[in-house]
Structure 1
């Protein structure tokens, strides 16, 4: 005799409802900007009620943060898992950048919302996001034994931020122009390799300074 299905727990039910709303929001973000999305749009797309929405979220901004948190957690885990830590450092960076671009191209509306909408949120709300999810992956990968042994340099936090910030800006520019980010993969990989190829920076004393104002060149 088939075993009866176990009843759904309250936590599972709540998680399913939250996923329904965040999924609806992601779908709507592909059609219009976040400020124009209403609670009515969300409950209509999720095929549920306002009461159900407010049982799980205090506002549409809270729903957006839940979506972005889920995307950052799943995306950074996917990128981390894509890197073969025993490979040469250039290969590891190629795998990392390729996986990151794949994550963005799979969910472009989420990336655009993160870049466009989060800066407009109240500071406490925006601060609750883990903005370092991908930065931490980059630093962990570059700190690996084989990465450094094969000639790569462990990236400082500043360099990891520059790398991730540059990739985000590239993604925003490509998506705004209706392009896939993958079209710029090779340039993104080469930029990452340049950042991680050496741990030493040119000494400030060796960088020519522009002439002071009023001083002949």
Structure 2
């Protein structure tokens, strides 16, 4: 699961360096937790993997947990981008759900160990972790709502998915992923495409009544 960032950099060479260090720290965090798990990962591990100094780490983050949250949000944005790129607004939404779900699960399945860290450890960070999870879920739910509600065509009208029902879809998909992780099937997330597709279609159909 390759991690990139969209953190804005200040203008000029120094700004580019700041952005590069931030990106390297997230990549370092990803490699460290993939190798050792979050609990055993130390800041020393992160800066070693990132090839930066401990001082550089503290210029961007105050704690290991803060770095994990940043990694979680960056990975989630890339997962959402994968879905967005797979979704064609010119086509009816119901014909594209399976393709979008495949793109999402394919991205998540790239690194099962990191996936477990991001989906499970984020829940153990207390309120900051929950707040990050809420921000990510809100962003995904908003995308789903806009994509489905704007997906009308000559082949059928758009659905009318409410924000609450969009969040229901996100929650259901998250639970499917957590269940796969719990059952050591994180590398086989493709099996979730069919049930996730049925969930999205069923909720959208019910919401449109």
Name the TM-score, length of structure 1 as normaliser: 0.78
Measured after TM superposition, the shift of residue 198 of structure 1 is 3.1
Evaluate the alpha carbon distance shift between residue 89 and residue 55 of structure 1 in structure 2; reply closer, same or farther with a 3 A threshold: closer
Match of 1:82 among 78, 86, 95: 86
Measured after TM superposition, the shift of residue 184 of structure 1 is 2.5
Match of 1:62 among 63, 66, 74: 66
The question of whether the paired residues in 1 share the 8 Å contact of 2:145 and 2:161 is answered with: yes
Of stretches 104-113 and 69-78 in structure 1, the one that deviates more from structure 2 is: 104-113
Evaluate the alpha carbon distance shift between residue 147 and residue 195 of structure 1 in structure 2; reply closer, same or farther with a 3 A threshold: farther
Evaluate the alpha carbon distance shift between residue 153 and residue 198 of structure 1 in structure 2; reply closer, same or farther with a 3 A threshold: farther
CA distance in 2, matches of 1:38, 1:109: 17
Measured after TM superposition, the shift of residue 72 of structure 1 is 2.2
Q: Secondary structure at the match of 2:35?
A: coil
Aligned position for 1:105: 109
Aligned position for 2:76: 72
Aligned position for 1:156: 162
Aligned position for 2:192: 184
Match of 1:127 among 125, 131, 134: 131
1:83-126 deviation digits (Å, cap 9, x = unpaired):
11122232122222222212211344444333322222242464
Aligned position for 1:170: 176
CA distance in 2, matches of 1:120, 1:148: 47
The question of whether the paired residues in 2 share the 8 Å contact of 1:84 and 1:92 is answered with: yes
CA distance in 2, matches of 1:147, 1:107: 37
Aligned position for 1:4: none
Q: Secondary structure at the match of 1:30?
A: helix
Structure 1 unaligned segments of length 5 or more: list them.
Answer: 1-7, 202-217
CA distance in 2, matches of 1:163, 1:138: 9
Of stretches 137-146 and 88-97 in structure 1, the one that deviates more from structure 2 is: 88-97
User: Could you say which structure has the higher helix fraction?
Assistant: 2
Name the TM-score, length of structure 2 as normaliser: 0.81
Given the alignment of the two structures, is residue 26 of structure 1 paired with residue 30 of structure 2, yes or no? yes
Given the alignment of the two structures, is residue 197 of structure 1 paired with residue 205 of structure 2, yes or no? yes
